[in-house]
Amino acid sequence: MKINSLSREDALRSLASSEHGLSGAEAARRLSENGPNEIRETRRTPLGMKFLKQFTHFLALLLWCGAGLSFLSDCINPGGNMSTLGFAIIGVIVINAVFTFIQEYRAEKALETLKKLLPFYVQVVRGGKDKKVHAYEIVPGDMIRLSEGDRIPADARLIESCVLRVNNSSLTGESEPLLRNHAPSQGELLESPNIVFAGTTVTSGSCKALVFATGMATEIGRIAHLTSAVESGLSPLQKEIIRTTRIIAFLATVIGFIFFVIGHFMGRVFWENFIFAIGVIVALVPEGMLPTVTLALAIASQRMAKRKALIKNLTSVETLGCVTVICTDKTGTLTQNNMAASRIWADSKMVETKDFRPQTSDMFMKIALVCNNARFTDSEYQGDPTEIALLKLAGKSIGDLGTERIAEIPFDPDRKRMTTVNRIGDREYIFTKGAMESIMPACSGFLLHGMKQRMDETFRKQAMAAYHELMDMGLRVLAFAYREHEMQRARDNHPENDVLKSDPTSPQSIETDLVFAGLIGLEDPPRPEVPAAIRKCHEAGIRVIMITGDGARTAAAIGREIGLIKGEPVVIEGAEFTTLDDRSLREKLSAKEVIFARMTPKHKMRVVSVLKEDGERVAVTGDGVNDAPALKKADIGIAMGISGTDVAKEASDMILLDDNFATIINAVEEGRAVFENIRKFIAYFFTSNVAELVPYITYVIFPVPLPLTIMQVLAIDLGTDLLPGLALGAEKPTKELMTLHPRSPQEKLLNAKILALVFLCLGPIEAAAGLFGFFHLLKQGGWQWGAIFPSGDILYMQATTACLTGIVIAQIANVFACRSSSESVFSMGFFTNRLIFAGIAFELALQAFIVYHPWGNTIFSTHPLSLATWLVLIPFAFVLFFADETRKAVARQTQLRRSSMSTLSR
């Protein structure tokens, strides 16, 4: 028989399990026998195919054409050494492919490692005790507990359930939550209401379930599409990198062709012009750009993880840098989520909790104790922080009552309350706690000194005044009520007859005619680092909007304490929110300071949608099941790693490992740094490209030998430049980053500012260093203007070596200049990026090999230089460095004057 048709006892017997679960030893044996509970990827691109793809992208194809033409020219015109160039270009393709493949592989592995920082744990009953185990340790026969927001780890048969709804969309595509119960059922497993499936989620209620299938034996394991169908797309930045690279490659090809034509009309032979055209193309093609962007994204994600922000995919890193609005929860994000009962209002008077003296029969504390899902097990409190605070308060006051819970109506954001039906002795009670505006209308009486009184307007006003007073203290306020349950219900062990457990709508009928017991104010202090983070947001041009389920006065009090609001904010509560059309909501959102209070997750979704329609780039935080749509809708969905549900984590782009708002700001800073670091890399490489291009232009315009050979160009682009350039991709965020307004996603990597810097300042200085070295050596050797050197001439090889060395020396200064577009290296600190020094050491070592080793001389047509030549070229590095420092100082002063004038005008 199928497990869904068996009774509870028969189901347990079929899997040799019990209500107390498996023993630890038996669970270990079954894990060894059945293997880990995981879905294995059934289709994955082989590493070999990934590697081969590196040889077929646009840049690689362009270089393949160059290599082919080189070999063709060597066949047609032997002796021109074109075959060496062809092999060199192939070497460029191979080096670039290997390096890009390694970086992408490391980035992929790093992402897998980061995801392991947030393991998926399950509450399981082992040997009669509740414990948390990793999901892959779940085995058939395990008894698991599931509650709202949990991701279901395996296929399981319900043993107990309480208003359980599950979302089977990952399995069936149907997004509507389905009501489940634990009664035996006939038919297929997929249609059975007493079966829950791996990969689906609990949207409300709770249950106890018996696992009968794990791993690839589950329904979703058989479908085997969980990870095999996942393909990572290109981010806007990666697309921009590819677009920029293709534009540059196209321009390089056009420029090469133009100068080929110019050379032809100037009377140069075909093969000289051809070598020149190939040289121009190779000089301008940014071969190292693709691996650098991958490295920058991977390093940023790893740095974010160290700062407690887990990025689920690399494409989200850059999006963080564009964020203009952060919609944040209050509890646990802006505050510490360390709840403690601070004030109590009962018997029409306010007292601090330390002064509260309840009697054993006090109904108020009974409600706090019993209408509560937190528990104290294994010497620690487990559960929601709010409920833990109530359990501590009530437990110390009246101890354990030994009650039996008959039914529960879970809390939900719309009702804003939770209700339980409990038996104490021979009586049944309905206990309710929740928001004041939800509890008070359901009350027909109130408790005063242990006696029930009829509700009147005087008491309502007193209670509301006390409620407002507690909220003004910044406290989360809960109201408590009860009534004796007189309805006797049949309990014949058929849960389908238990209306409270199977029908989530009818319990609302029992939440009436309640007796109001009192109020408790819970204190949740703001995180100490949040005020500084809020200031940082304001400086960075990022708006912060608080969206909370707490009352408006509580939200405003906390907002003032952390510096989120300074004046009189626009405060919108849930009741008002529902009456606003989109136009009115936009007007409200245009205010400088906005707070949304008593909001439900569906309200949050609407706020995010309106902000996005207005062109904002929105980051939103969430931790509950119903936050998932807003998390998916936002540009960046941010889930809580500690308090967040599995559903929220699945829907998010980033997970806060510490639930801290300040961590969001750190992540935004890293996101901004990624884009800037790519720009630094481009400026660094383009500077040397200009320095490489100028000698070729000089060669075409003037009757001089070619100052820099193609092999020497390749030595710069994929040799001496590569590691220092990559070190710029690992640069930490500069101070200036979080003083700038968010960039637009449409902003291009190549802008007029970078082009002016490269073509009007850094590039010409570096080109002058190379040409000075070239002509300085020629002059020392007695060269006459217009004279042409024979192949293998030592003076000519020394001169080209001096040109190469001048560019390399200037690039050492350039890597420091490119570390920031406006901040001085002296204020940044020379040694804050030690990878740069490693890159420079490699650069100098490679240059020494090229200049002084016989193999280097043979491959790159160089000749050893004297120390005097190096000393002549070194001043150019200082000229470049201090020229850029001067430019930065002028730019800072200009910006300062503009800021001062803007302040005065306001």
On the question of pLDDT at 475 being above 80, the answer is: yes
User: Does 612 share its domain with 732?
Assistant: no
The CATH number given to whatever domain includes residue 160 is 2.70.150.10
Among 543, 30, 156, CA closest to 326? 543
List alpha helices for 231-269, DSSP H: 236-265
H/E stretch holding 434 reads: strand 427-434
Greater model confidence, 41 or 40: 40
Question: Highest mean pLDDT range out of 107-121, 359-373, 432-446, 538-552?
Answer: 432-446
Question: What pLDDT score does 151 carry?
Answer: 85
Per-residue model confidence (pLDDT) at position 855 = 93
Q: Is the pLDDT of residue 373 over 50?
A: yes
The mean per-residue pLDDT over the stretch 441-467 comes to 93
**476-513 burial, b if ≥16 CB within 10 A, otherwise e?**
bbbbbbbbebeeeeeeeeebeebebbbebeebeebbee
pLDDT score of 906: 52
Q: Band of the pLDDT at 84, cuts 50, 70, 90?
A: confident
Cα–Cα nearest to 551, from 376, 330, 746? 330
Q: What is the pLDDT of residue 682?
A: 84
Question: Beta-carbon neighbour count of residue 650 at 10 Å?
Answer: 17
> Alpha-carbon distance 626 to 375, whole Å?
25
The share of the chain scoring above pLDDT 90, in percent, equals: 34
Instruction: Write out 598-623 in H/E/C secondary structure.
Output: CCCHHHHHHHHHHHHHCCCCEEEEEC
Per-range mean pLDDT, top range of 381-385, 518-522, 890-894: 518-522
CB within 8 Å of 771: residues ≥ 6 apart: 694, 695, 698, 707, 803, 806
Q: What is the pLDDT of residue 496?
A: 41
Q: What is the pLDDT of residue 117?
A: 53
Rounded average pLDDT over 102-112: 65
Residue 186 lies in a domain: yes
Q: Residue 503: pLDDT above 70?
A: no
Residue 257 belongs to a domain:
no
Catalytic residue, from 329, 653, 717, 884: name it: 329
Question: How many independent structural domains does the chain possess?
Answer: 4
Which tokens is 563 given? 């510096």
Out of 494-498, 568-572, 768-772, give the one with best mean pLDDT.
768-772
* Lowest-confidence region among 307-311, 456-460, 487-491, 845-849: 487-491
DSSP3 helix / strand / coil % (the chain, rounded to 5): 55, 15, 30
Is 251 a member of any domain? no
Q: State whether residue 586 is helix, strand or coil.
A: helix
Question: pLDDT tens digits, residue range 113-130?
Answer: 655 555 578 999 998 888
Report the alpha-carbon distance of residue 878 to residue 883 in Å, rounded. Answer: 8
Same domain, 332 and 396: no
445 falls within a domain? yes
Domain boundary among 210, 229, 248: 229
Give yes or no: residues 560 and 420 share one domain: no
Q: Please check whether residues 495 and 569 belong to one and the same domain.
A: no
DSSP-based three-state secondary structure for 508: helix
**Helix count and strand count (H, E) for the chain:** 33, 26
> Is pLDDT of 491 > 50?
no
Of 263, 287, 289, which Cα lies nearest the Cα of 275?
A: 263
Identify whether residues 213 and 162 lie together within a single domain: yes
Q: What is the CATH number of the domain that holds 707?
A: 1.20.1110.10
Residues in the chain: 906
Q: Tell me, what's the pLDDT at 382? A: 79
302, 114 in Cβ contact below 8 A? yes
pLDDT tops 50 at residue 489: no
- Please report, for the domain that includes residue 518, its CATH number: 3.40.1110.10
Please give the share of the chain, as a percent, with pLDDT higher than 70. 87
> Residue 82 is encoded by which pair of tokens?
């074109």
Averaged pLDDT for residues 861-879: 95
> What confidence score (pLDDT) does residue 155 get?
94
Please enumerate, as own/partner, the contacts of 182-186 that have beta carbons within 8 Å and a separation of 24 or more: 182/8, 182/158, 182/207, 182/495, 183/494, 183/495, 183/496, 184/4, 184/5, 184/6, 184/7, 185/4, 185/5, 186/4, 186/5
Q: What is the DSSP secondary structure assignment for residue 527, as one 8-state letter? A: P
Q: Are 289 and 681 in contact (CB under 8 A)?
A: yes
The residue among 613, 632, 659 that closes a domain is 659
Q: Any idea what DSSP says for residue 689?
A: H
Indicate if 744 and 809 belong to the same structural domain: yes
State which of 458-462, 669-673, 753-757 shows the largest mean pLDDT.
Answer: 458-462
DSSP code per residue over 14-35: HTT--TT-B-HHHHHHHHHHH-
Burial of 850 (0-12, 13-18, 19+ CB in 10 A): buried
| pLDDT, tens digit (0-9, with 9 covering 90-100), for 810-821 | 999 999 999 988
CA angle (642 as vertex; 549, 542 as ends), nearest 5: 60
Write out the residue range of the structural domain in which residue 839 sits.
671-906
Region 197-219 average pLDDT: 87
Residues 326 and 357 in one domain: no
User: 544 and 490: one domain?
Assistant: no
Shared-domain flag, residues 412 and 490? yes
Residues 588 and 613 in one domain: yes
Spatial CA neighbour of 802 closest among 864, 714, 724, 720: 864
**How many Å apart are CA 417 and CA 512, to the nearest integer?**
13
Most confident of 282-296, 487-501, 577-591, 620-634: 577-591
Q: Is residue 470 scored above 50 in pLDDT?
A: yes
The predicted structure's pLDDT at residue 508: 54
Average pLDDT over residues 381-409: 85
Note the pLDDT of residue 31.
Answer: 93
Residue predicted with more confidence, 468 or 236: 468
Query: Mean pLDDT across the stretch 428-449?
Result: 93
Residue 86 pLDDT > 80, yes or no?
A: no
- pLDDT at site 641: 81
pLDDT digits (tens, 9 = 90+) for 407-422: 888 887 778 899 999 9
Is 776 a member of any domain? yes
Phi–psi pair at 338, nearest 5 degrees: -115, 75
Domain contains 83: no
Q: Does residue 795 share a domain with residue 692?
A: yes
Q: How much is the average pLDDT of 611-617?
A: 92
- Enter the pTM of the model: 0.74
Domain identity same for 630 and 690: no
Q: Taking a C-beta distance cutoff of 8 angstroms, is the pair 426, 438 a contact?
A: no
Cα–Cα distance, 338 to 129 (Å, whole number): 26
- Residue 191 is classified by DSSP as G
Q: What are the tens digits of pLDDT across the range 220-243?
A: 777 654 334 334 445 566 677 777
- pLDDT confidence bin for 501, thresholds 50/70/90: very low
Comparing 733 with 445, the larger pLDDT belongs to 445
User: How confident is the prediction for the chain on average, in pLDDT?
Assistant: 83
The answer to whether 420 and 371 are in contact (CB under 8 A) is yes
Q: Of 235, 477, 173, 225, which is closest to residue 343 (Cα–Cα)? A: 477
Contacts of 854 (CB under 8 A, 6+ apart): none
CATH number at residue 568: 3.40.50.1000
707 confidence band (pLDDT: 50, 70, 90): very high
Phi, psi of 548 (to 5 degrees): -135, 155
Say if 569 falls within a structural domain.
Answer: yes
Confidence of residue 73 (pLDDT cuts 50, 70, 90): confident
**Is the pLDDT at 490 greater than 80, yes or no?**
no
Residue 101 lies in a domain: no
In the annotation, is 329 catalytic? yes
Report pLDDT digits (tens) over 248-266. 777 778 887 887 887 777 7
Q: pLDDT at position 225, please?
A: 42
Q: Are 512 and 417 in contact (CB under 8 A)?
A: no
Residue 741 has pLDDT above 80, yes or no: yes
- d(Cα 859, Cα 536) in Å, to the nearest integer? 53
